[in-house]
Structure formats: C-alpha cells, structure tokens
Chain A
Amino acid sequence: MPGDDGYQHDLLVIGGGGAGLRAAIAAAEESNRLSIAVLSKVYPMRSHTVSAEGGTAAVMRENDSLDTHAKDTIFGSDFLADQDVVEVFVKEAPGEVIQLEHWGCPWSRDPDGRVSVRPFGGMTVNRTLYAADKTGFHMLHALFQTSLKYEKITRYDEWFATSLLIEDGKVCGVTALNLHDGQMRPIVAKAVIMCTGGAGRIFPFTTNAAIKTGDGMALAYRAGVALKDMEFVQYHPTGLPGTGILITEAARGEGGHLKNKDGYRYLQDYGLGPPTDTPVHRKMELGPRDILSRCHIQEHQKGRTFDGPYGHYVHLDLRHLGEKLIDKNLPFVRELARNYVGIDPVHEPIPVRPVVHYMMGGISTDITGKTSLNGLYAAGEAACVSINGANRLGSNSLTELLVFGARAGRAAARHALERPALRSNPLAQLASDERRRLDQRFLRADGREKIADIREEMQKALESGCGIYRDRATMEGACQTLRKLRERFAHISLADKDAVFNTELIAALELECTLDVAETVARSALAREESRGSHTRTDFPKRDDARFLKHSLAYQTPDGPRIEYLPVTITRWPPEERKY
C-alpha cells in the first residue's frame, strides 16, 4: 500500500497471477530505479494460475529441439500462430523454467536430480515439466514469494481497476476501486501491463475460477485496442460434470484412457489410433484438445456416451496406472475426484466431459507485449501475442505467461524509464468523474434487472451459440441476445449500497466486462466462415486458408464489435493439412 505521497508509479501491473508477477519481477530486475506496483482484485496467491495442474513446456532434453517444439505448437495452432513469435517463445522457454527452478519451484525430479518431463497432448516428445499435478499452484506461490523480496514492488491487493486513464493518446494509469474502503483513486503510471487472465466465466460450464471475467480485455477494448482471435475458445476434454473442475491432461500423459459407455477406447474411430497400452505421443488420448473435444460430441451423437444429471459424459480410466503412480504424479486428481464426484480413481473410472478452459484470443500485442495504445502492454491469457492460434497445446500456457510476462515487464520498464514524469492533478478529477459514473450507474439507480439473471442468460447464449460446434443461425442468435442483454444491463439494480467490500458492485463491474468480451467472441466467430482449430462450423466444415489464414481483430463501436483482419506471420512452416 502506498503512503501519503500518493499513488504514483513508473509501472503498474494489473493482475497478480503468473504473468503479472513475472512481469513485475522482470521490471524490478531491469532497473532498480523503477517504482513498480501490482494491482489485483484478489490477493496474488488467489489468482487463477493457482488452478493449473499438468505442467509447463520447454525443451530440456537432448532428444528434443527448439524446432520440434515450434513445429508442434504451430501445427497445434492449425497454422494461425505467428511463427516468429513461436520461435522466440520456444527459445526463451528453457531459461524461464530454469529461472523458476532457481526461485524455488518444486519441480518433480528424476532420480539423477534433473527436472522431470512428461508427455502432453499434441507434443512429439516429453517436454512438459511438472510439480506433481499442482504445477500452477507451485509456480504461482514461487513467483509470489519471490516477489516479496523486491522492495520496489508495491502491491494493491483487492483493488479493482475500472478504467484506463489516457491523455494525449498515452496511457497514464488507471482508476481503481479499493474494496476495503470503497474509495476510487487514480493510480498514475507511465506504463500499464494487463495481466488479468482469461474470461471463461462468459460460459456456464468452465474450469475457470469465479474471478475469470475478462476485466483487462474489456478495459483495453474500451480504450480502442483490438481483441485478437476471440472466436477461438478452448474446450478441455476432461472436466468433472456439474462443477467443471479440471482433471488434468497429465492424467492421459501418464497413461489414462478415455472410454465410452461400452468401455471402448473410442478415439481410435476418429483417426487417432491405433490404441496402445503405453501412451504414444500425439496419438489416441494424447491428441490435441480441440480434436478430443469434438470426438466426445460425435461419440455422444452416436449414443455411446453415458447420461447423467449434468448431461453426457465418458470415462477417464486410470485404474491400470496403479495407486503408487497416481499418488506420486496425480495426487490432486485423486483428491478432486474423491471430493467432488465421490470416485476413487484407483478403483473406479472418473466421469468427464468437455469444458470451457482457455481463451486463445486476447488483447492484441506485438512480440514484446506492446499494444497499439502507447504505454499499454499485456501478457498471459489476457493477451494474444499469438503463439496459440486456433488451438493451444496443453502446457504451453504456463510457459507463455513466463516468457511473455518477462518480455512485457522488460519492455514496459524501458518505456517507463524513457518517459518523462507525469502530472497527476488532472487525473484526480478523472477519478472523481469515474466514481460519479459508477454511483449513478449502479448505486443510485432504481433498476429492476438482476446481475444473476443477465449473467445466466449471457452464459446460455454463449454455450448454445459458440460451443464446440457452431453455425450461422446459432451464432446470430447469440449476437442478438447479447445486444439485448447490454440494454438490460443499463437497468441493473444493486441491493448493496455500502462502500466497504461491496462484492455486488464488483460483480456488476465484472458482468459489464464479460458482456463486452462475450460479444467479441460471438461476432468474431460469426465472421470467420471456416473451421480451424477450436472454431468448428457445421456450415463451413473446412479450413479456408485463401480467405482466413489471418487473425481477427475486434474493435469496439457503439453498435458492437467491428471485425478487421491481420495477416499471420509465416516463417519456416508453410501451412499443411493438420492430421495426427
């Protein structure tokens, strides 16, 4: 918390998850002259990075190469990743995971003391480092605890950023609400880095934590920055029915089998075979997430899935792995299955179904994390830098937040060092304007709409319109519903008028963010008349490189998102058919 001298910093990071903390530390290491702040709506160790389970990819062994990691990533992206960015990504990945090792991350080890690597979906060799099946938890706590040693890093815990402050086309901070006292303040900074994560909560059934509401994406979008490739939403093939709790891909990496209601390993019917006892890279259960999620739906259409109170599901069978291996490498899977579905995976298969997991799209940035708005940077799931294209490979996202968190931190630090000091007086006025806007909108309004109703209808619209399979009619329906919900949102009514820890006000602000993000997803999806990666259209079932080998860019207008396009960067891997 800052002192009386005000809320002025050189660099402000919004979000205290993996990307945000990595960015803050990188900036602190770049120069000890910088005042750095991390602002987060939760305490940093609560951030959603904590829920990541399976691992983080980097080339660590002699049987692997940077080119293989790059090729796997580009192939997995269905050729929509920018290849120059992927090349930088794979090159800097090993240094980043070793850096984290030096910072105390308890990576699982081989008998000789080296960090272990496990197989993961879509990867041709074992290159996924892990800390049992709590990789994100350990990475986040290692980063957070390490960040505590930097005295130049100030934290604003449980503050919510409501808008970007912009003067003469340059970012100069944010307005933010302190949950503890309800005060709105300008926090001045020469550079701002958005590390607010994804927006899985625009869907009803998701692995994402409650806080994943796309706040940073919405703030950037409202400030005129494009959201890139938002139509690409990753379904993870193995979530627990009902809660959507993630059962990690590492369960399949360790050798788990997906079986239909006849106990048959159905993936062999979809070109992913032949089935083998020990896992083979990129085959069967180690296929990529988009394809496995589609196989589930097709299997359901053939009537070969189970039916339960929360819809259709299949079995993830780990029994043959044995208790010892499960307890060593998948203890969290066992804990989650026991607690939340009453199943012990040592003795029974786990019920699973596809669940919304990750946004490939996000705030459009360049290779350094810089956006089109002077002084604004972004990294992690909130950003689209773009290594994931149309489908992310599992275990690339934790690496992404390290590599591009660090890059954004360094680039923003250099920007802040070069930029002259800011005057903060006119900004105080902007903060009081922002407070008045919120009061008028939410606290004095005598509306009749409820947050929960609008949220549920938005989520339903996204699920029915922008699910695993999509077509024009359903997406147009989603777009229309979202427009109407926006009108209804103007008449929202809050019961809570208190200043202190007003979580209902935060929920309203989050809902407003999700409405913005949801619309960019639906509009970008409608405009992309092809099938690529996670975006699968029944009315356009083929990939169409002639028309759509390009990124979508969604810009805000009063009538909803305007979609433009940007070429994909191809360096050494010309597009080919994506077949596993």
Chain B
Amino acid sequence: MTEETMTLEVTRYRPGHDREPRTQSFTVPYRTDWVVLDALNHIKDRIDGTLSYRWSCRMGVCGSCGMMVNGVPKLTCAAFLRDYRPGPIRVEPLANFPVIRDLVIALDDFMEKLRRVKPWIIRAVEKPVSDGEYLQTPAQLDAYKQFSMCINCMLCYAACPVYGLEPAFLGPAAIALAYRYNLDSRDEGYRLREPVLSEAVGVWECTFVGECSVVCPKGVDPAAAIQRSKLAGATDWLLSMIMPWAGRR
C-alpha cells in the first residue's frame, strides 16, 4: 500500500539571494493527527534543513507559529492537515508584516506599539506588598479577563485591513491590551493611555471590519475592545464639552 501524502506550497524568501518571495512545493506523509507545524518540522528534519519558521510550545499558547494557511491567519500548531484534504496547502508568512526570511516575519513594530500603550498596572499610590493583595471580586475579574487572554500571536494584525493600509495603526492586540488594563479594577492609568489610544492611529482608524475577532485563536475579541474604547473616548469628549469640570474615573 502506498503511503498517503499531502503537498504543501511554502513561501520561500532568502534575503540577499531572492529578489522576491517564491513558492516551493514539498510532499509530506499524511497523518490524521498532524498539524501544519508537524508537516513543516518533517520538511525541516527530513527534506530541506534551510526552511526557516518560528515555533515552540506546539499547544497554542506561546504564539510563535502564526502563518497564513490557505490565505487565512492561523496558528500552525492548531491547523490540522485533515481539515485541508486533499490539499495542496498554501503556507505563507503572516500578511501585513515585513518578512525577515521564509515564514519569519518582523515583530519590531508590534513590540514598540505594545510598550506605547503602557500595558502595566498604573496607580497614583502603590500599595506596599506587606499590605497584601488588592481585593478584586470575580465580577471585577470577569470585566477584563477576556482581554487578558491575548497571546500576541499577530493573527489579528495579519487579518486587519486597516493595518494593511496604515501601518501606523496601533492595531487590535495593542488596543485590546490597553483596554484590558483600563478595565482592571486595580488600575488608574486610563488618563495616561487615553492620548495614545485616541491619536488618529489609535482606535479611530478602525472601520469595524471585525476580522481581528474572527481569526483570534483565544476568543479575545479585539474588535469589541476597539469599539468600546471609541465609545469611552467619545463619552469623554462629550463630557468635557458639557461639563468641563467633570473628573473621570
């Protein structure tokens, strides 16, 4: 009996050698429990050691192995070959990012944006550790929990049409994280994050396509974070017009 196989059409790009990306086909054994990442590892170990890509936990939590699979941003450790039969499967680097090599994209832009939204607890006065924990009820936890589940896998940026056209756009994950801290009952940094969020490249750029929430593998729903931040920003603006003396939060 001949072994069943599948074909992967993989984007290759060698800086300094290739003028532009090209496609290379590889035939791999088909296994019902293999994910696309297993197929890439098979290629690297057994067919072509020069193929470059990132991966680590292979259980959907480290966020390293995002790629375009048949044109859709996916974690390749969670994309099963069986869902793409009979193939071929097209594997490309995440869209909207500069490519360093093969399937490896540059993350520098996101890392810079992440820092800009100040994703840490900000307080006017910090409580000493010896005074114990901040109390936070399960309901207060639930208010931001969903937005704390982001694994920074970049699938939402690859799916975002606004980021594709306007790379200065803060983007779904960074905005969702800013929103996560704004919603945290322990945090008092709303005022400090607001200028970053309400710049033209912040939440207002988003046209509410919602693709980011569709592709998110962790159910974070960044689109909701963006829309609700817009609402909060608009309410702030209105309040400042009507009642300029009104403090907020």
Please give the residue numbers on chain B whose beta carbons come within 8 Å of chain A beta carbons, in ascending order: 14-17, 33, 44-46, 48-50, 52-64, 78, 100-102, 104, 107, 111, 114-115, 118-121, 126-127, 129-130, 132-138, 140-141, 144-145, 148-152, 177, 181, 184, 186-187
Contacts and interface: CB of A to CB of B under 8 A. Distances in A.
Contacts of B14: 498, 500
A134 interface: yes
B62 A46 contact: yes
A98 B62 contact: no
A114 B133 contact: yes
A51 B59 CA distance: 8
Contacts of B184: 104
Given A51-B59, A113-B137, A495-B50, A146 B120 contact: yes
B33 A242 contact: yes
Interface stretch (A163-171, A251-259, A392-400, A501-509): A501-509
Given A51-B59, A137-B61, A496-B50, A102 B126 contact: yes
Contacts of A498: 14, 16-17, 50, 101
B52 A106 contact: no
Contact of B45 (A42, A45, A451): A451
B57 A106 contact: no
A50 interface: yes
A157 B127 contact: no
Contacts of B181: 104
Contact of A501 (B56, B63, B104, B133): B104
Contacts of A503: 44, 52-53
A109 B100 contact: no
B60 A138 contact: no
B120 A452 contact: no
A108 interface: yes
A104 B150 CA distance: 14
Name the interface size band of chain A.
35 or more
B151 A137 contact: yes
Nearest to B53: A503
Given A98-B133, A106-B144, A148-B115, A46 B56 contact: yes
A245 to B, nearest CB: 5
Given A242-B33, A245-B58, 8 more contacts: A102-B129, A103-B120, A108-B138, A145-B119, A145-B177, A452-B45, A495-B49, A503-B52
Interface of A: 42-43, 45-48, 50-51, 95, 98-99, 101-104, 106-115, 134, 137-138, 141, 145-146, 148-149, 157, 180, 209-211, 242-243, 245-246, 332, 335-336, 339-340, 450-452, 494-496, 498, 500-504
Contacts of A504: 44, 49-50
Instruction: From B119, B144, B187, name the one whose CB has the most chain A CB atoms within 10 angstroms.
Output: B119
Given A106-B144, A113-B136, A498-B14, A209 B56 contact: yes
Contacts of A99: 129
A109 B134 CA distance: 11
B109 to A, nearest CB: 13
Contacts of B126: 102
3 closest Cβ pairs, A-B complex: A113-B135, A452-B45, A495-B49
A406 B17 CA distance: 46
Given A111-B137, A500-B101, A102 B127 contact: yes
Given A43-B107, A109-B136, A148 B49 contact: no
Contacts of A101: 133-134
A334 B95 CA distance: 30
Nearest to A97: B133
Nearest to B145: A106
A452 B47 CA distance: 11
Given A452-B45, A504-B50, A145 B100 contact: no
A441 to B, nearest CB: 16
B46 A452 contact: yes
Contacts of A95: 129-130
A148 B57 contact: no
Nearest to B46: A452
Contact of B148 (A98, A114, A138, A336): A138
B50 to A, nearest CB: 4
Contact of A145 (B101, B107, B120, B151): B120
A98 B136 contact: no
Given A43-B107, A113-B137, A502-B52, A336 B59 contact: yes
Contacts of A48: 56-57, 62
12 contacts: A42-B64, A47-B62, A50-B57, A50-B61, A102-B129, A103-B121, A104-B187, A246-B59, A450-B49, A452-B46, A494-B49, A498-B16
Nearest to A456: B45
A47 B100 CA distance: 21
A500 B15 contact: yes
A503 B101 CA distance: 11
A168 to B, nearest CB: 37
A336 B61 CA distance: 10
Nearest to A49: B62
Contacts of B64: 42, 46
Contacts of B118: 148-149
B176 to A, nearest CB: 12
Nearest to B135: A113
A112 B120 contact: no
A50 B55 CA distance: 13
Contacts of B136: 109, 113
Nearest to A501: B101
Contacts of B152: 43, 45
Contacts of A109: 136-138, 140-141
